[in-house]
């Protein structure tokens, strides 16, 4: 990197929306690290002196009372709107003063300009005059923005213009104030609303996504410039009220602590990130749960499956052919049900059956059909139940059934229970570890890397086996048409592997899944870190074995449990992969 790519005390940042809110907090943090200079832009007026009635008064009710008295003394009617307007002016003035003071105390320098970034002529005149005084602008931080949250059918043209122009025209006007080829930093405060979309924010999402694309275009044209569009999630600031925090928590959306967020901005401007043009910081936006109605509906979804679209299948080869894991069928049905009811999650899969698996050879159908029938709804408990069946037709028109189950969706997943029979005491009976469990002989598991691995068998007895597992996440392209969302088909498959070890250890036999009584999920099974499986064997016959699987953490907190899982026993040679 050259010196031009380093922030220096002589660097001058033009910051829209930089005197208040989170943009101001970020500016203060940059001043603390680099002692640089800032031209802060905002629409609020910076008063030369506060009105006498407001001085030494920080309590909101008291200040509003004084404003009312002030208006009455002037002979004006103190309407709530008029009082609030004056209160907001005083509050904005104080926050701007606090920001300027904080920047100075942090070692930086700042000058504030009252101007609307959408006012092209006024912005250019004021910014160029100020830059002539303090130095050439070397960076832009575009943090200004407006909201007009409404459902799209209720939005007006004025709503759209208000939101769109602040972001998009604002950026155009800021760039018109500088020489782009001399700009060292261009930082655009975008939003995860532009990346994921969000209810009521169609205009805001459009404007922010344009910022994202603008960042990439500017970077292509001026590769020397450090350009980044930061798609921020919600911050722990005044805009996120306690009520909104509770709603975010219920939907699993984490908010960004101010201290952490400002430090993330500083990190993104380090030279090592010079070529990262867009970054998402924050939790994905999870839509609020839909409101249930009593009507029961049916759905038919058609899907074409190909080996090329599902690279992970090369790690699940049986008798020489890639075969769809039964856990993928469960996740397929669960995911589709969840998509029909945003905000709901699949809590259970009951009476799962394998009729005829899907093999990727000459028997692969042109399309597979998932039929869903809503069987019941509980509006009070926020519950939807489905009957699900996957089938296809042969070229001769014969119907072939592959999988079926009953899926239960819940808006609120019950708290995770504790596995009461937890036993992680090691007995060292089976000393095989890690990948040595896989594809190393007749007794080995046939699964490839996408479905590995059992790290070690902690203990084993004639009626139980306990294992430590670890799934190394594979990329989305390799996951193909069966991505790991709430229900992870890869970790669920891995969780059944201990039964294979138990069956071969005691009976020199192996098995494949045939059906299960119930699968319940309380939390996502972690990946890239250990989890544990306690498998309790219920019964064993010549043709099948039945077991219960409890997937949990080291303290016994259950992520999921698979009850009444039936394995169909096969000759070992039937499952060995061809090498």
Q: Based on the fold, state whether residues 442 and 394 are members of the same structural domain.
A: no
CA distances from 321 to 353, 364, 470, 540, 576 (A): 21, 11, 26, 28, 11
pLDDT of residue 284: 78
Q: Based on the fold, state whether residues 116 and 254 are members of the same structural domain.
A: yes
Q: How many residues does the chain have?
A: 579
Domain assignment present for residue 290? The answer is no
CATH of the domain at 261: 3.40.50.720
Of 237, 253, 281, which marks where a domain is finished? 281
How many domains does the chain fold into?
Answer: 3
Q: Based on the fold, state whether residues 541 and 477 are members of the same structural domain.
A: yes
Instruction: Find, among 310, 404, 396, 390, the residue nearest to 350 by Cα.
Output: 404
Residue 487 sits at φ, ψ, to 5 deg, of -95, 120
Helix axes 21-34, 258-268, angle to 10 degrees: 60
CA distances from 499 to 231, 300, 437, 457, 568 (A): 45, 35, 13, 11, 12
Q: Based on the fold, state whether residues 313 and 239 are members of the same structural domain.
A: no
Q: Based on the fold, state whether residues 309 and 388 are members of the same structural domain.
A: yes
Q: What percent of the residues of the chain are helix, what percent strand, and what percent coil, each to the nearest 5?
A: 35, 30, 35
Strands (E), 192-254: 226-232
Domain assignment present for residue 470? The answer is yes
Domain assignment present for residue 54? The answer is no
Q: Print pLDDT tens along the chain (579 aa).
A: 344 468 999 999 999 998 899 999 999 999 999 999 999 999 998 888 899 999 989 889 999 999 999 999 999 999 999 999 999 999 999 999 999 999 999 999 999 999 999 999 999 999 999 999 999 999 999 999 888 888 889 999 999 999 999 999 999 999 999 999 999 999 999 998 888 888 888 999 999 999 999 999 999 999 999 999 999 988 887 566 677 777 777 667 788 999 999 999 999 999 999 999 999 998 877 777 888 999 999 999 999 999 999 999 999 999 899 999 999 999 999 999 999 998 899 999 999 999 999 999 999 999 999 999 999 999 999 999 999 999 999 999 999 999 999 999 999 999 999 999 999 999 999 999 999 999 888 778 999 999 999 999 999 999 999 999 999 999 999 999 999 999 999 999 999 999 999 999 999 998 888 889 999 999 999 999 999 999 999 999 999 999 999 999 999 999 999 999 999 998 665 555 443
Q: Based on the fold, state whether residues 393 and 474 are members of the same structural domain.
A: no
Helix axes 21-34, 80-105, angle to 10 degrees: 10
CATH of the domain at 530: 3.10.129.120
Q: How far is CA 12 from the centre of its chain?
A: 34
Domain assignment present for residue 517? The answer is yes
What is the Cα–Cα distance from 549 to 498, expressed in whole angstroms? 9
What is the Cα–Cα distance from 231 to 256, expressed in whole angstroms? 12
Domain assignment present for residue 15? The answer is yes
Q: Based on the fold, state whether residues 406 and 443 are members of the same structural domain.
A: no
What is the Cα–Cα distance from 547 to 122, expressed in whole angstroms? 74
CATH of the domain at 398: 3.10.129.10
pLDDT of residue 574: 54
- The radius of gyration computed from the CA coordinates of the chain, to the nearest angstrom, equals 30
What is the Cα–Cα distance from 508 to 571, expressed in whole angstroms? 10
pLDDT of residue 578: 43
Of 238, 256, 281, which marks where a domain is finished? 281
| Residue 206, token pair as written in the block | 């459009």
Domain assignment present for residue 61? The answer is no
Q: Based on the fold, state whether residues 395 and 446 are members of the same structural domain.
A: no
Q: Based on the fold, state whether residues 558 and 448 are members of the same structural domain.
A: yes
Angle CA 505–507–508, to nearest 5: 70
pLDDT of residue 243: 73
Range of the domain at 172: 11-46+94-281
Q: Based on the fold, state whether residues 238 and 311 are members of the same structural domain.
A: no
Kind plus residue range of the DSSP H or E element containing 518:
strand 510-521
Domain assignment present for residue 40? The answer is yes
Q: Based on the fold, state whether residues 397 and 448 are members of the same structural domain.
A: no
Q: Based on the fold, state whether residues 134 and 267 are members of the same structural domain.
A: yes
| Residue 537, token pair as written in the block | 């064997």
Domain assignment present for residue 163? The answer is yes
Q: Do residues 501 and 454 touch, judged by C-beta distance below 8 A?
A: yes
What is the Cα–Cα distance from 99 to 15, expressed in whole angstroms? 13
Of 375, 410, 445, which marks where a domain is finished? 410
pLDDT of residue 236: 84
């Amino acid at each position: 990197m050259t010196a031009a790519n380093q922030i220096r005390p002589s660097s001058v940042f033009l910051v829209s929306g930089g005197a208040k809110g989170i943009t101001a907090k970020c500016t203060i943090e940059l001043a603390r690290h680099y002692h640089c200079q800032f031209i802060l832009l905002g629409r609020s007026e910076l008063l030369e002196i506060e009105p006498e009635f407001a001085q030494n008064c920080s309590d909101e009710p008291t200040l509003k009372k004084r404003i009312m008295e002030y208006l009455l003394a002037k002979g004006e009617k103190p309407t709530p709107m008029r009082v609030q307007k004056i209160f907001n002016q005083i509050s904005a003035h104080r926050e701007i003063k606090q920001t300027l003071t904080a920047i100075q105390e942090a070692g930086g320098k700042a000058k504030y300009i009252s101007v609307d970034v959408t006012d092209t002529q006024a912005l250019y005149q004021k910014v160029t005059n100020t830059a002539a005084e303090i130095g050439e602008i070397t960076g832009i931080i575009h943090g200004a923005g407006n909201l007009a949250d409404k459902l799209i059918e209720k939005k007006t043209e004025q709503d759209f213009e208000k939101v769109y122009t602040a972001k998009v025209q604002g950026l155009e006007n800021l760039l018109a104030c500088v020489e782009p080829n001399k700009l060292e930093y261009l930082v655009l405060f975008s939003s995860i609303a532009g990346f994921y979309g969000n209810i009521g924010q169609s205009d805001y999402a459009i404007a922010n996504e344009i910022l994202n694309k603008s960042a990439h275009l500017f970077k292509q044209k001026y590769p020397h410039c450090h350009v980044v569009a930061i798609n921020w999630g919600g911050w722990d600031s005044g805009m996120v009220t306690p009520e909104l925090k509770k709603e975010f928590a219920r939907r699993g959306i984490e908010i960004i602590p101010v201290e952490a967020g400002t430090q993330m901005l500083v990190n993104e401007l380090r030279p090592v990130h010079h070529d990262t043009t867009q970054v998402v910081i924050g939790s994905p936006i999870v839509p609020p749960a839909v409101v249930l109605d009593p009507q029961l509906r049916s759905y038919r979804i058609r899907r074409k499956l190909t080996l090329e679209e599902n690279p992970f299948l090369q790690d699940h080869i049986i008798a020489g052919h890639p075969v769809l894991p039964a856990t993928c069928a469960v996740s397929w049905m669960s995911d589709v049900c969840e998509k029909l009811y945003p905000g709901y999650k699949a809590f259970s899969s009951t009476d799962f059956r394998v009729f005829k698996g899907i093999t990727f050879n000459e028997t692969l159908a042109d399309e597979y059909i998932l039929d869903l029938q809503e069987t019941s709804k509980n509006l009070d408990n926020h519950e939807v139940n489905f009957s699900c069946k996957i089938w296809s037709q042969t070229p001769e028109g014969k119907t072939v059934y592959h999988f079926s189950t009953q899926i239960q969706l819940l808006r609120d997943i019950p708290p995770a229970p504790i596995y009461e029979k937890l036993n992680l005491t090691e007995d060292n009976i089976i000393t095989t570890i890690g990948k040595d469990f896989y594809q190393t002989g007749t007794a080995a598991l046939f699964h490839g890397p996408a479905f590995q691995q059992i790290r070690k068998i902690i203990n084993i007895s004639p009626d139980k086996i306990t294992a430590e597992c670890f799934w190394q996440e594979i990329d989305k392209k390799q996951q193909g048409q069966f991505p790991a969302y709430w229900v992870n088909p890869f970790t669920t498959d891995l969780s059944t592997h201990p039964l294979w070890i138990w069956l071969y250890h005691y009976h020199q036999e192996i098995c494949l899944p045939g059906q299960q009584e119930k699968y319940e999920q309380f939390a996502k099974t972690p990946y890239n870190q250990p989890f544990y499986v306690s498998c309790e064997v219920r019964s064993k016959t010549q043709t099948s074995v039945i077991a219960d699987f409890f997937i949990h953490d080291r303290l016994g907190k259950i992520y999921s449990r698979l009850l009444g899982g039936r394995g169909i026993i096969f000759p070992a040679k039937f499952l060995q992969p061809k090498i």
